[in-house]
Structure 1
Amino acid sequence: MKFVEPIRDRKKIDVMKKLLASHPRDQLLFIMGINSALRVSDLLELTFRDVIDEAGECLEHIRLKETKTGKYNKIAIPKGVKKAIRQYSTLVYKGDLSHYLFQSRKGDNQPINRKTAWAIIQQAAKDAGIRDNIGAHSLRKTWAYHSYKAGTDILIIQDMLNHSSAAITLRYIGITQDEKDRAILSLDL
């Protein structure tokens, strides 16, 4: 498996959202992925019950048991994600909360698989002109990278990603030597 990068350029993120707009399921996958610390394997297992209530209203949090770690997690749902969920639900929700959110087009109430998710994200990145190696795992990395850039404490990001150290988290989100140099040189006491 190739090492993938976060999507660092916010303008490219907006381009990808627009490119995916004609495929609501794929757009929601992208929006939820870049706005949470969830692994793609956990995203794909989400059902409507995980994001809306019986009345079709968006929940405040996603609560799940992580596939990889077995840990229980509670992730807040931001306003923009709620809006995307509402739009998507209006189009595809048929009243059964147990149906997968990112359902395969085969019609058998199965979620899309990781390979399909990878192909969706990779193609949208390519169409957006992103030259970095981008895949489904880039969604989680993108959330972490932009959270860090927005000033979120690295220890909180580390905890959200279930990493064992801040150094691992910094390496994971692609904080480069140039950025480390800028941090030192900009202070110049």
Structure 2
Amino acid sequence: MEFVDAIRDVKKIEQIKAKLKERSIRDYLLFVIGINTGLRISQMLKLKLNDVLTSEGEPAKVLYISPDERGIYLNRNVRNALSYFLEKKEIDREDYLFTSTKKGDPITRQHAYRIVKQAAAEAGIHEHIGTHTLRKTFGYHAFRKGVSLALLQERFHHATPSETLRYIGAKKEDAAIPLIDVNL
């Protein structure tokens, strides 16, 4: 398996999002969910609309992949992308989010790879890019914003903090100063 990099430049991330939004709302949603949740591509491709909606039909704030794992927070960017997706696309609650145009099955990992690779190339990113880039981008930027390395290690199911740092392509010095303001 080829090593891939995180996308470190926020301007490049915005360029990719804009290009994908123009081309395909499905592909845009795939990218936004990937860089904002740290889910594996295999987990994302199994998502059905019902998984990311509340019983009222609104974008959920928490996604539960399995009963054994903690919920995954769906931030404002993900919820906005989901709302945009729902405005533009007619889809049943039991349909896969990332449906292939040929049948009702989800797109393949290979197709997801091509989506990410092409969007990155169009944004001028020529580093090693793949579907793990989405997950690594999430981890890199979360770490830079002060998210605990221990939380990222748990999310990625890594054995050691050094494995997580290596995976996201960061150094301990890259971490933001945590703003722990108890203010008692």
Structure 2 counterpart of 1:104, one-letter code = S
Task: Give 2:160's aligned residue.
Answer: 165
Task: Give 1:97's aligned residue.
Answer: 93
Task: Give 1:42's aligned residue.
Answer: 43
Q: How does 1:59-98 map onto structure 2 within 5 Å?
A: 59-65=60-66, 71-94=68-91, 96-98=92-94
Structure 1 counterpart of 2:159, one-letter code = S
For the residue of structure 2 that corresponds to 1:109, the secondary structure is coil
**Where in structure 2 are there 5+ consecutive unaligned residues?**
176-184
Q: How does 1:1-189 map onto structure 2 within 5 Å?
A: 1-22=1-22, 23-65=24-66, 71-94=68-91, 96-106=92-102, 108-175=103-170
**Where in structure 1 are there 5+ consecutive unaligned residues?**
184-189
Q: CA deviation at 1:53?
A: 3.0
Indicate if the aligned counterparts of 1:121 and 1:134 stay in contact, CA closer than 8 A: yes
Greater CA drift, 140-149 or 167-176: 167-176
1:66-105 deviations in Å (ceiling 9; x for gaps): xxxx9534101101110100110122233x2110000001
Structure 2 counterpart of 1:154, one-letter code = L
Normalising by structure 2, report the TM-score. Answer: 0.89
Q: CA deviation at 1:175?
A: 2.1
Q: CA deviation at 1:55?
A: 3.4
Q: CA deviation at 1:51?
A: 0.7
1:136-171 deviations in Å (ceiling 9; x for gaps): 110000000000111111111111111111000000
Q: Distance in 1 between matches of 2:88 and 2:21?
A: 13
Q: Percent identity over the alignment?
A: 39
Task: Give 1:186's aligned residue.
Answer: none
Q: Distance in 1 between matches of 2:68 and 2:159?
A: 14
Aligned-residue Cα RMSD (Å) equals 1.8
Structure 1 counterpart of 2:72, one-letter code = I
Q: Distance in 1 between matches of 2:96 and 2:90?
A: 10
Segments ≥4 residues shifted beyond 3 Å: none
Task: Give 1:187's aligned residue.
Answer: none
